Structure 1
């Protein structure tokens, strides 16, 4: 169709002083009246194109100013309803009809700023405007708790979670069994809409079918999923948690997330965030494990051994004579694997911190034995009854101070 030479103000029925909102409102009314899918008059198609051309001029400040000044607009600027856009400005013409009320006929426009056709769909409604059908599903994030030992050794966990699944009733098609889809009348089945704005050709996903290129009548839509082809379901998955994982580790289970928008699309992934519970005995830093053990004073002085728990079971730790408070002993390869999952790989060490207990009260025979063993006079290292009473009230946190005093006494040589 040739570009209309009629006055755009007359076509829309507005004055030259009309505001932008008045022009838009007039266009809505005219477009609704003359759209060929609802108006079967022979001249409706041409009338609708003229209305589109008029609105394209008056809704653009530059074109409107050019028309007001010169009485015409250069055809090289292009019109939303020009020949390059197809019949009525739509890539697929009018063959597909109006899929849902007025939504199908106004989907072929867009680009820059507000889209009057989207507003028209919202105003006159009439059904669904399909959302974009993604090629792949979204990831699902969940968390699971495991014990300290499970983190060190590895384990399996069965988890339950919600995700989007393809609808069983329609096998993910969104259509009742026995019903069929047809090409979207807005985009002609291409899933894309092409339009002209300011002389540029632009394409976007079809706003009616969401880029799927198909149309389903309301009566043929699958009820369980409301035509989406997907439903929310509770699923279970068995997670292999490798040895050596730490608190905050994220594990990926491929394709156990949400189903894709298309039946043949790739599902999303399941992302499992691992929370490791603390242990009452062990503490972990990287690949090393830390533990404390307490030995009596005589073992620290004379030496001996003590049984130490490890993640692999109990082991005997040799205590050399003269072991000091808070001294650390290292048990090689008793820690956590340095590369999660490789149980036969390199491991860290277990670090044992030695705590020493000092007796609060000793018998007179023990006191005499200490003096004789170290050649001390009767009054050396002695305390008054008052001090002895106070020492009996000392807490275990004072063990180190008491031991240092004893050690100092024990190391006195015979200079005196």
Structure 2
């Protein structure tokens, strides 16, 4: 059974866009595979992303509210086709008889409706002449690394389907997000007779990364520093998806301090780029040399700093 996207995010059907975004951020942080080691967390994280990508877009949300979980199977020009068919008193677009789920009533419950029952009287009924049927839209997943999603560009995609394996050269938009769909026009199911083919939608899945954690368009990364860099301050290199950045570590930085690099997160083609947050992690030599041990002992004797002291 298809999941209700509002239930996935835990919001009401009347929720505002801000409430939807707040719910998404909370759940994405809770279920991100880098944070939650539960084996089911990654699948839950994918569900949350899918729900958000549908409900965060006003047009897509409106189609979902109207047609339910199968809204992608309804042609974009659905109303125009129905109007055209009604004007002719028959003919036009017909279906092969598959079911679709439409939203019903203020409660948002779904009801199965048969295309023939829905359109039979309008388009000539079950006994009427068969019409051309546009090809159905299809969907597949494409996995990308964080770096690939950041850079975008052309890449090959190979998909197995009913007609065998097909290869595509796909343009990945720079800054594409997890759950976002890439449309390949005319590459979906074939239509009957001379009807146009449907479209193929590639749903993006960004693979968990050992270094980077995504939160919307923000990128979180750990920044290892030495004790003396943390105490005295330093400018250190930091690998990012866009290349190596220089990060200024303020004097007296402890582990857990977050340094913000504005605009260094995931690109946004039509808005503000995300930020990159580098979390300081103070690292000590795992096998100190005799001289390093001597210096640490001198520091221990000379310093009265006690991190466990209250206040």
Question: Which TM-score applies when normalising by structure 1?
Answer: 0.39
Question: What residue in structure 2 maps to residue 274 of structure 1?
Answer: 204
Question: What residue in structure 2 maps to residue 151 of structure 1?
Answer: 149
More strand by share: 2
Do structure 1's residue 242 and structure 2's residue 195 form an aligned pair? no
Question: What residue in structure 1 maps to residue 134 of structure 2?
Answer: 136
Give deviations 1:96-125, integer Å, cap 9, x for gaps: xxxxxxxxxxxxxxx9xxxxxxxxxxxxxx
Structure 1's unaligned 5+ residue stretches are: 1-110, 112-128, 165-231, 382-402, 412-416
Question: What residue in structure 2 maps to residue 356 of structure 1?
Answer: 282
Give deviations 1:44-100, integer Å, cap 9, x for gaps: xxxxxxxxxxxxxxxxxxxxxxxxxxxxxxxxxxxxxxxxxxxxxxxxxxxxxxxxx
Give the alignment of 1:154-303 within 5 angstroms. 154-161=152-159, 232=163, 234-263=165-194, 265-303=195-233
1:155/1:241 contact within 8 Å kept: yes
1:163/1:257 contact within 8 Å kept: no
- 2:170 partner SS: strand
Give deviations 1:199-245, integer Å, cap 9, x for gaps: xxxxxxxxxxxxxxxxxxxxxxxxxxxxxxxxx46543322110111
1:292/1:355 contact within 8 Å kept: yes
Alpha-carbon shift at residue 358 of structure 1 (Å): 5.0
1:249 & 1:368 partners in 2: Cα distance?
56
Question: What residue in structure 1 maps to residue 95 of structure 2?
Answer: none
Pair 141,132 (structure 1): closer, same or farther in 2 beyond 3 Å: farther
2:155 & 2:294 partners in 1: Cα distance?
60
Alpha-carbon shift at residue 143 of structure 1 (Å): 1.9
2:165 & 2:255 partners in 1: Cα distance?
55
2:152/2:174 contact within 8 Å kept: yes
Structure 2's unaligned 5+ residue stretches are: 1-116, 118-126
Alpha-carbon shift at residue 270 of structure 1 (Å): 0.9
1:330 & 1:365 partners in 2: Cα distance?
32
Pair 239,321 (structure 1): closer, same or farther in 2 beyond 3 Å: same
1:365 & 1:323 partners in 2: Cα distance?
20
2:203 & 2:297 partners in 1: Cα distance?
59
Pair 332,237 (structure 1): closer, same or farther in 2 beyond 3 Å: same
Alpha-carbon shift at residue 316 of structure 1 (Å): 2.0
- 1:152 partner SS: helix
1:294/1:355 contact within 8 Å kept: yes
Question: What residue in structure 1 maps to residue 253 of structure 2?
Answer: 323
Larger relative contact order (Cα-Cα within 8 Å, sequence gap ≥ 6): 1
Question: What residue in structure 2 maps to residue 8 of structure 1?
Answer: none
1:346 & 1:352 partners in 2: Cα distance?
19
1:268 & 1:316 partners in 2: Cα distance?
47
1:295/1:355 contact within 8 Å kept: yes
Question: What residue in structure 1 maps to residue 307 of structure 2?
Answer: 404
1:365 & 1:158 partners in 2: Cα distance?
55
1:285 & 1:158 partners in 2: Cα distance?
27
Pair 371,241 (structure 1): closer, same or farther in 2 beyond 3 Å: same
Alpha-carbon shift at residue 363 of structure 1 (Å): 3.8
1:354 & 1:364 partners in 2: Cα distance?
26
Question: What residue in structure 2 maps to residue 171 of structure 1?
Answer: none
2:296 & 2:160 partners in 1: Cα distance?
69
CA-based RMSD of the aligned residues comes to: 3.3
How many residues matched? 182
Pair 267,162 (structure 1): closer, same or farther in 2 beyond 3 Å: farther
Question: Which TM-score applies when normalising by structure 2?
Answer: 0.50
2:130 & 2:160 partners in 1: Cα distance?
22
1:237 & 1:258 partners in 2: Cα distance?
15
- 1:298 partner SS: helix
